[in-house]
Amino acid sequence: MQLPQIFAFADEASPLIDGQIAAMQRNQLQGLEIRNVDGENVSAISAGKAREVRQKLDGAGLRVWSIGSPIGKIDIERDDFEAHLDLLRRTVETARILGAENIRMFSFYIPAGKAPSLFRSQVMDRLHRMVEICDGTGVALCHENEKGIFGDMADRCLDILTEIPQIAGVFDPANFVQCGQDTAEGWTMLRDKIKYLHIKDAMFSDGRVVPAGKGEGNVAMIVKDYLAKGGRWMTVEPHLHVFSGLSALEREGEKSNVGAYVYQSSDEAFDAACQALREILNA
């Protein structure tokens, strides 16, 4: 079995790239799923900024594994999809500068009170167009299950990944828990289509995020089965401390339940999340 490659959303440790590098180094991680850096979302940074970040990471012996983009986090009825495709094109170029193999993305917010099935054809058409933009670039689209989007439950994630095999899967146990999805059932359905894991756990009772292995997301079982089947890549996503930029990641009117485990700083919360994964790997 190959050793796992562990990355992180290190913006949860620090908004600054230098702080993110320090957090990754002290936790002996391989690199970054880059989301926010020096006060900007990765989808908004310039080519020059991307080259600066790449130079710093290369100098530290770290890499960018994936772009933690907001692609697909728009309302399928109200928002401008053509403008969003332009954002994807820009993000692909950023990924190539940073040396990232993957872009994490989503399958569009479904209007509250409307059945996701009503939008299936539109979702698939849009995802096909997104795949066309990435074709031949060396950058893969990876769909994450997320609250409120078409692919929030395992059956609709499977639908996407079967209909459009060019898109790989990202499995986030906490997000499934927050949607009421049994993660063991979801993992059985999706395991053969998952490229990498987000290491995040939560409780069914109120959706609060807890360290990996302390919740009801079956994280330890999923990690061990993922590694046993040949998987190698996982990203630590703590959500254990209210960090700069969290509100910008959420849908209007929603708020993540964080802080059930209280830490004195973002760095401390980040280190605790990394340690929780190490405990699972060493068990």
Per residue in 106-134, pLDDT (tens digit) is: 999 999 999 999 999 999 999 999 999 99
**pTM (2 decimals)?**
0.93
Is the pLDDT assigned to residue 253 strictly greater than 70?
Answer: no
Is the pLDDT assigned to residue 244 strictly greater than 90?
Answer: no
Is the pLDDT assigned to residue 180 strictly greater than 80?
Answer: yes
β partners of residue 210: 201
pLDDT value, residue 138: 97
Q: What is the distance between the alpha carbons of residues 9 and 16, in angstroms, rounded to a whole number?
A: 12
248-266: average pLDDT: 68
Q: 201 pLDDT band (50/70/90 cuts)?
A: very high
Q: Which domains does the chain have, with CATH numbers?
A: 5-282 (3.20.20.150)
72-79: average pLDDT: 98
Q: What is the distance between the alpha carbons of residues 144 and 175, in angstroms, rounded to a whole number?
A: 9
Taken in order 162, 42, 265, 60, the sign of the CA dihedral is positive
195-209: average pLDDT: 95
Is the pLDDT assigned to residue 246 strictly greater than 70?
Answer: no
Q: What is the distance between the alpha carbons of residues 268 and 254, in angstroms, rounded to a whole number?
A: 26
Q: What is the distance between the alpha carbons of residues 118 and 114, in angstroms, rounded to a whole number?
A: 8
Let me know: does 21 contact 60? Beta carbons within 8 Å: yes
pLDDT value, residue 258: 55
167-190: average pLDDT: 98
CA-nearest of 193, 198, 215, 197 to 206 is 215
pLDDT value, residue 242: 54
144-166: average pLDDT: 98
Is the pLDDT assigned to residue 219 strictly greater than 80?
Answer: yes
Decide which of 248 and 202 is more confident. 202
Instruction: Give the percent of the chain with pLDDT over 70.
Output: 93
Structure tokens at 3: 């050793």
pLDDT value, residue 264: 80
Average pLDDT across the chain, whole number: 94
Is the pLDDT assigned to residue 81 strictly greater than 70?
Answer: yes
